[in-house]
Each structure stands twice: as structure tokens, then as C-alpha cells.
Structure 1
Amino acid sequence: MTLHPHKIDSGLPPILRAATADLLTRHAPRLLDWVARHGSPLNLVWPDALEDNLAALKDVLTGHRVEHVIYYGAKVNKSPGLMQAALRAGAGLDVSSLYELRDARRLGADGARLVATGPAKTSEFHQELIACNALISVDSPEELEDLIEGLPADARPQPIFLRLRPRDQRKSRFGMPADAVVHCLTRLAGENRLRFAGLHFHVSGYRWETRVAALSEAADLVAEARRMGFSPRMIDIGGGLPVQYVDQASYEAHLAAQAPEDYRTGKKPDSFYPYGGPLSPADWLHRLLEAELRQGRSVADYLRREGLTLAMEPGRALADQAAITVFRISRVKALGPDSHVIFVEGSSFSACETWFASEFLVDPILVPATRPAAQSPPIRAYLAGHSCLDEDVLSNRWLRFPAAPNAGDLLVYANTGGYQMDLLENEFHRHPMPARLCVMKDAEGQPILVRDTIGEV
């Protein structure tokens, strides 16, 4: 029997990759079986999607004749399969913790393919980065002193970035202002155990224009560093490339029409991730490279003329369409004549949005477990997790279902690879952590599951 997903009438259906759409339609019984075997929620990962996303960015950079290096921001998802896919496709890895570093090393990454951009590195993390000669982004003069203190007397030159805090990021706790960068360069002048590789910054938000402004500041510092006798070779612009989760027109119409009563809290969130923005990651990168940096020269012109490599650490943009999260409904409870709450089994993946007073503005997809005997009337409902906390919800937004779901049906959230999947996963109530598996194809081209663990991806 073929089961068909039901459209939820809230106006924000997800953009779906063909492989995902195929699983939710032709292979829906297989999906139900997987959840029965592996539990709810179930995280499914397509590593090949990351390779496709990486290729799209590389095409833009190559088209602009810009030397580049792309590091996959491993913090975006705990999947070893995605890390391995990045390495297989020629990318490096951005590791923000000792544990991400150790996983990267177990997957075969040497120091030349690793960068550590996080600001709060421990001495143990420093030591393991030094041991493999990974590139370290130094966040502050204080970190620089800690790093120097921990260097062996006979250390080979350790490559470092200095992390700039652009002028329009004054309230950020990350990076350092330009004068502190110059101070660090002065300190480096007499330290032959460190090699200044270039500058790094990460700008909040998703506007390419703010990166251009930060690049202009970085260009001044590159020139100053060269006057001081250094030979910087890279500028690293961090991450923050936007991802299109839903159709732009639908998204803009939804934002314009939404009202407080559309939420069970009676309050609209003040801000959202730009789920239906106008630019794909590749479009965004193209805009950045062709933008004027100064004196009529584009960003790409500047990088080529100065012999600089452009580095970046996309996370979410490389995990676009690379994963889904599947919940099994445990109960549908009436709260009144026109309102319900749908309880799902397992920890609440969307806490990273709802707990911060925002919302994951992508509709889930209902996959029924059986054909209903009779058509039930439509209902509206919000979605709640399994815990005893009243705020453990996947969606404060009222979702309208054309027919009432039943216990055992599945709710699928698409495109959860970029933070939504596991940012706040926990074992509250001693509920086990969700299973995470990679979706591959067998010899007949049918979808199969492979454990998403190091050595088995």
C-alpha cells in the first residue's frame, strides 16, 4: 500500500530535495518501518547533499578565479557522515571543540585541513591543535599569550589567524578591534614559533554587504601587516551564508499576514531566521565577490591582485537539504472545540528556536501510518515534546491539518541539518538520544540506512 503525505495548510511547505520527496511518497512505508525500529525522533542524513552544496560554492569561486578554501563548520551537526563527506569532496573542517577535533582526526583529517575558529579554547584544545599543526584563529591578545606559553621550545611554525572584530560588531564578545590586531602583530614580530597566515572575522546576520565592509577593514590590516614584514596569505570571512527553506513569495506573504492569534502564546516572535530569503548560498557568494570593495575594484579583483586566498566556514549552507527529523505522534489531545495539542515522542529539536522566543517557520509534513477509515474534520494544533515542561514545544504556531492526525502517524520536519537537529538535544526524563543514520542506496537503487558513526559511514 502506498501512503501519501498530507499537506498542512499553514502556507510554509518546505523546499524538498528529490531524494527526500521520494522517501516521503514512494517509500513512506519504509520510513514508518525505520521509525518503528529506531525510535522517535529519528534523524536521517544524506551526506551526498553536502557534496552537492560544496560543489555549487566552488563553482562560483572558480568562476571568479579566486583562490579559496572551504571549511565545513562541524558544529552545525554532530553527523560524522557529513564531516566525512566534506573531507571526501576536498573541503576542510572547522572544529570548535576538542571533541570535534578528535572526531576529525579519527576520520583522517590532518592539520592542513583543519581550522579552529572558536573563541574559548582550552589549553588542552590548544595542545592538540598544535600537535597536528592545525590553523588556529586567535580571538584576543589574551589567547595569543596563552598560545605562546603553551608552545614547545622547538615547535615548528604554528599557523594562526588573528580574529578581527569589525567596527559594526562592537557589541560582540568575539574577535578584537583593529588596534588590538596590530598589537598582536607587534607581539608576533619576535616569535618565530608562530606564523601569521592572515585575518579571520565572522559577522552576525546574513547580509553580504556587511562582509564587504569587514573585508575593507581586513584589507587595511593586510596592508599594515605587510609593512611590518609579514606575508599574510588568507582572509577568512567566517560563515553566515543564507539557506532557503521555503518559497520566498510564500514566506513574505506569511510574514505580512501573520497575527498574534496565529500563535498559542498570543504573541508573534520579534524575529526569525530568513527562511524564505531571496538568495541561495551560491547567489550570495556571487554577490559578495562581484561587489565593489574600493576604487571601482570588486572583492574578487582585490583578492586576485593581492594574491590572497578566500577562506570561509559555512555550516548551515553546506548542510542544506542534508537531513530530516521524523517524529512519531503519541497522542492528539483536544484543548477546546477548535484547538488541539499534538504530542510527539522524543526530545524537542525546535527548542533552539522556540526557547529563544522565535519559531521554525517551516511546516512539518504529515505521513499517515494507515489510511483513515473515514475523513475527519480539519483541526488546528500546536506541537509539543514529551517532557513535563510546559514550554517544551516544537511549534507555538497553530498548524492547520486537513484531517486530524492519529497516534502512530509521523510528522516530518525537512532540512533540519543546520542546528535544528541537535543544538539542544538532551536525555531529559532519561529518554535516549535520537538515532542518527545516513540514507544510502543499495545495488537496486533503493534507500537503505547506514549507521552514522565513525568507521561506519
Structure 2
Amino acid sequence: MSNSELQACVTVKTENGLYIDPKALTAHLSALHYSDDGLCMEQVSITELVKRYDTPCYVYSKQAILDVYQAYSDSFATVDHQICYAVKANSNLAVLGVLAQAGAGFDIVSRGELMRVLAAGGDVSRVVFSGVGKTFGDIEYALTQGIGCFNVESISELALINEVAAQLDKIAPISLRVNPDVDAKTHPYISTGLKDNKFGIAHEDAVAVYEQAAGLSHINIVGIDCHIGSQLTEVEPFIAALDKVVELIHKLGNKGITLQHVDLGGGLGVRYIDETPVSIAEFAAALLPKLSELGLKVFFEPGRSIVANAGVLLTRVDVLKPTEHKNFAIVDAAMNDLIRPALYQAEMAVIPNILPNKGIETDGTQPWDIVGAVCETGDFLAKDRLLSLSTGDILAITGAGAYGFAMSSNYNSRPRASEVMVADDRHQLIGKRETVEALYANESLWQE
């Protein structure tokens, strides 16, 4: 079966609510294809990767990452722009290094993320520092490194940045993150642009806060920023947010406050199963007329859309437990490895390393809940998936390149998975599997 035929077999929901996954290669997963030996990422066999690195294991395609980054850059080529990858989506040094070499900027939310960017060779002058809880130490470190811009989220943060900059005898470049009160129509946990969210400065207060910032001794106003949420599949919320930002830019200009850039944040969605997100090209085409009129440099902060569908989580079926009411496939990955299904009710495609000979209609096909061994009922990776399974089978959970390993934990004293990057026919370990001993190496017994 050709890759194009496989990509056409998108996961669908049947009338009884079950998902059909065995041939589910979503349209953006260009790095995945089936060969005679089973599933491959780029030109590397998944079977080979499992033999070499075991499971659970995250695998990322270098080319898939670069392809999406380049799509952003190409789509906004008619305006001066800077694509700042959102580090929180996947902060592995190899991923950051690949993007740094491609010329990407970075969006960070902690000192630790900035240190990662620098270790990966990123240009600190192309880094924007977001986040609601920047500390004195965070700000001090960022200023001494030469940070490109602070995205300021509160009046108190603005005052703190000015204080730290004064002590260092530096001028801090800032933009205000304005909360436009636009409904992104996404999961409430990843919506960030409503007035009841913790992020940003209220739209109606923004001009007054900018005037306050203009009067501070060690602040240089360079931009305006907004971010309305994540996994947005339509362009309309971005347009609504941009309209509000444009309104503020004009008001600021009338007060003599000029800006160098406008930052529209990130949040463009991806296809996990059956979503139909707007393409990057369509996204750009809808925004460019208004952005071109502004004449400002344009920043974007994509994360998920760059890395989600560049990665899979490989896991092995350890136990098959059919019951009267449910069939459970217990795998060696769990909610500590991939928490999105439990936390966000996220649905991600599950495809087998080896397709059944007779396809979806084979006699062995049954509905399965794919669950882990963590001691929680909420420990599941997928529910009601029509699969033909045997103990020892390898499954790939797609869309796992973003908020997968980055959100993993050691719950139940489980070591975190290994990470691998593939490029053409090469593969490299970019994150070693943890050992159990390492989990308590920094702990000590109470001494009586």
C-alpha cells in the first residue's frame, strides 16, 4: 500500500462511537509510511528503533520539524517576521538545536527554558520571555544574557523589570501581553485570551499601562503581544484578536508611543484524528493584509504546530485483558509518559507497527482501551479503538511530538522514556531513558 493511500485512510468515528485506527496516518504525518517491514519514520524502520532503544520511546522526525518551520517562514515572507518556537511544547536540546540552526527565534516561559535555548545554540536576541510569574532572578538572568524582549503580563511585573534593569544599569526591552477577551473556542485549560484567564493585561487597561511603562527609567517599549489559546483550528479568532491589537496600536501612536513589532502569539492547531485545522498558508493569507498595513515586524510563537505531528510515542502491548464490558490493552507507556488524554481528554491516533494482513475487517479486530500500568483509573492513552492486537505488538501514538515528553513525570516512580531523532536513514538517541536509581539519587533517609 502506498503512502498516499495510507494517508487517505484517516481515522474516523463509526456510528457506534468507535475509532478506526489501523491505517490512520493523518495528512500532516509526512514522515510516516509503511514498508514491507512495517511502519517507518522517514527511512528508519520502527522495528529497528524498538530493537535499539526499547519502549516506551519518543521518536521525532528532523525533516518534519523543519518543514513546518519553513512553511511559517515562507507564508509570511512578504513582511518582516520572526518565528519564535514555543519551547514549552518540546524542549529537547536536539529539537531546539535543529530550529536554532534554521534561524528560529524562541518563546520561553522560564529561566530553565532560556538556559536550554542557549545550550542549544539559540540567539538570545531572538528570544521573547513570556509567562506570568517571572522572578527577580529570572529577569536578572535574562537581562544579563541580552534577552530580545520581555512579554509583560502585569503591572507589578513591569515595575519589577524596571527595578532589576536599574540595578544592572540596563534598559529592558518590553512588550505588553494584552488580553483581548477573544474566545478561542478551544479546551478551557488551553484557552488564554479570555478576561477570566490568568494571562495578560486587560485590553481596556492596556493604553494606561503603556503610558506608565513609557515613564519608567529603564524600560524600552518595543512591541505589543497577545496569545488567545492553543489548538485553534479556525482563523477567525486570530482575526478578531488582531483587530483589537490594531486598535490599540493606533491609540498608542496617537499618544506618541511607537512600536517595532506586533506579536500574535501561537496556538495554530494540528490534526490529531479528524480535526480540520486551517493551513499555515491560509492562516497567513487571512492575516497578511492587516499586518502589511501596520508596517511593523511580525512575531509568531508556534509550538504545537511545529512539533506535534513530527513525533510519535512508541509503546509495547504487555497484557491483553478482555472483560465482559471492556477490552483493555495494557501497554508499557502510561499517563506519566503522555498525560494529554487524561488531562485534556485529548484523542490521538493509535496505529500498529505492523498492519493486519486483512486490514480492518480481519476477524481479530476488536474495540480496545489502550491503558497504562499506573494506579489510576484515569490512566489511559486511547479509548474504544478498533485494533487487531496481540501481546508484544508495538503501537505508535501519533501527534506526540508536542506536550508529550515535555509534560511527562515520574509518577509511580516510573522512569521517563527515551527520545530519538531520525533524519533520512539515520537515527540518534537524543534523550536517555531514566533509571529508577536516578529518581531517588538526590534523596536521603531520615537520620535519627
Q: 1:268-298 CA distances to partner (integer Å, 9 max, x unpaired)?
A: xxxxxxxx21522332222232xxxxxxxx3
* Residue of structure 2 in register with 1:332 after alignment: 320
CA contact (8 A) 1:49 1:320 kept: no
C-alpha distance in 1 between matches for 2:355 and 2:270: 31
Residue of structure 2 aligned with 1:85, choices 91, 98, 117: 98
Residue of structure 2 aligned with 1:14, choices 21, 25, 32: 25
Q: 1:31-54 CA distances to partner (integer Å, 9 max, x unpaired)?
A: 234324433210011122221111
Cα distance change, pair 227–359 in 1 and its aligned pair in 2 (3 A): closer
C-alpha distance in 1 between matches for 2:224 and 2:132: 14
CA contact (8 A) 2:179 2:202 kept: yes
Cα distance change, pair 22–440 in 1 and its aligned pair in 2 (3 A): farther
Cα distance change, pair 210–105 in 1 and its aligned pair in 2 (3 A): same
Residue of structure 2 aligned with 1:220, choices 235, 247, 256: 247
C-alpha distance in 2 between matches for 1:214 and 1:27: 40
CA contact (8 A) 1:350 1:393 kept: no
Answer with 407-416 or 205-214: which moved more.
205-214
Residue of structure 1 aligned with 2:418, choices 430, 435, 453: 435
* Residue of structure 1 in register with 2:430 after alignment: 451
Residue of structure 2 aligned with 1:188, choices 196, 213, 228: 213
Cα distance change, pair 66–173 in 1 and its aligned pair in 2 (3 A): same
Q: Which runs of 5+ in 1 are unaligned?
A: 252-275, 290-297
1:42 aligns with 2:42: no
Deviation (angstroms), 1:310? 1.2
1:354 aligns with 2:365: no
Cα distance change, pair 377–452 in 1 and its aligned pair in 2 (3 A): closer
* Residue of structure 1 in register with 2:195 after alignment: 170
CA contact (8 A) 1:347 1:425 kept: no
C-alpha distance in 1 between matches for 2:177 and 2:31: 39
* Residue of structure 2 in register with 1:101 after alignment: 114
Q: 1:375-433 CA distances to partner (integer Å, 9 max, x unpaired)?
A: 863322101111121221112x21122x3x222110111221122x2354111222211
Q: SS of the counterpart of 1:426?
A: coil
Q: SS of the counterpart of 2:376?
A: coil
C-alpha distance in 2 between matches for 1:91 and 1:110: 8
Residue of structure 1 aligned with 2:170, choices 156, 174, 177: 156
Letter aligned with residue 427 of structure 1 = N
C-alpha distance in 1 between matches for 2:267 and 2:173: 24
Deviation (angstroms), 1:161? 0.7
Letter aligned with residue 69 of structure 1 = Q
* Residue of structure 2 in register with 1:366 after alignment: 352
Q: Which runs of 5+ in 2 are unaligned?
A: 1-5, 12-17, 183-193, 433-448
Deviation (angstroms), 1:202? 0.6
Identity fraction in percent: 22
Number of residues of Structure 1 aligned to a counterpart in Structure 2: 394
TM-score normalized by structure 1? 0.79
* Residue of structure 2 in register with 1:59 after alignment: 74
Q: 1:281-325 CA distances to partner (integer Å, 9 max, x unpaired)?
A: 332222232xxxxxxxx313422xxx2111110001111431111
* Residue of structure 1 in register with 2:395 after alignment: 411
* Residue of structure 2 in register with 1:137 after alignment: 151
RMSD between aligned residues: 2.7
Cα distance change, pair 138–331 in 1 and its aligned pair in 2 (3 A): same
Letter aligned with residue 53 of structure 2 = H
C-alpha distance in 2 between matches for 1:366 and 1:312: 35
CA contact (8 A) 1:161 1:197 kept: yes
* Residue of structure 2 in register with 1:318 after alignment: 306
CA contact (8 A) 2:38 2:355 kept: no
CA contact (8 A) 2:91 2:406 kept: no
1:390 aligns with 2:390: no
Letter aligned with residue 242 of structure 2 = L
Answer with 214-223 or 86-95: which moved more.
214-223
Cα distance change, pair 26–180 in 1 and its aligned pair in 2 (3 A): closer
* Residue of structure 2 in register with 1:229 after alignment: 256
Deviation (angstroms), 1:139? 0.3
Q: SS of the counterpart of 2:421?
A: strand
C-alpha distance in 2 between matches for 1:313 and 1:406: 42
Q: SS of the counterpart of 2:179?
A: coil
Cα distance change, pair 323–299 in 1 and its aligned pair in 2 (3 A): same
Cα distance change, pair 150–160 in 1 and its aligned pair in 2 (3 A): same
1:282 aligns with 2:281: yes
CA contact (8 A) 1:156 1:193 kept: yes
Q: SS of the counterpart of 1:174?
A: coil
Letter aligned with residue 219 of structure 2 = L
Cα distance change, pair 18–174 in 1 and its aligned pair in 2 (3 A): closer
CA contact (8 A) 2:291 2:298 kept: no
C-alpha distance in 2 between matches for 1:26 and 1:432: 26
Deviation (angstroms), 1:22? 4.8
CA contact (8 A) 2:85 2:301 kept: yes
Letter aligned with residue 373 of structure 2 = H
Answer with 178-187 or 199-208: which moved more.
178-187
C-alpha distance in 2 between matches for 1:107 and 1:355: 30
CA contact (8 A) 2:272 2:349 kept: no
CA contact (8 A) 1:72 1:92 kept: yes
Deviation (angstroms), 1:27? 5.1
Cα distance change, pair 27–147 in 1 and its aligned pair in 2 (3 A): closer
Cα distance change, pair 370–242 in 1 and its aligned pair in 2 (3 A): closer
CA contact (8 A) 1:365 1:413 kept: yes
Q: SS of the counterpart of 1:317?
A: helix
CA contact (8 A) 1:243 1:281 kept: no
Structure 1's consecutive aligned runs of 4 or more residues displaced over 4 angstroms after TM superposition are 26-30, 368-372
Letter aligned with residue 409 of structure 2 = N
Cα distance change, pair 368–242 in 1 and its aligned pair in 2 (3 A): closer
Q: SS of the counterpart of 1:399?
A: strand
TM-score normalized by structure 2? 0.80
CA contact (8 A) 1:48 1:85 kept: no
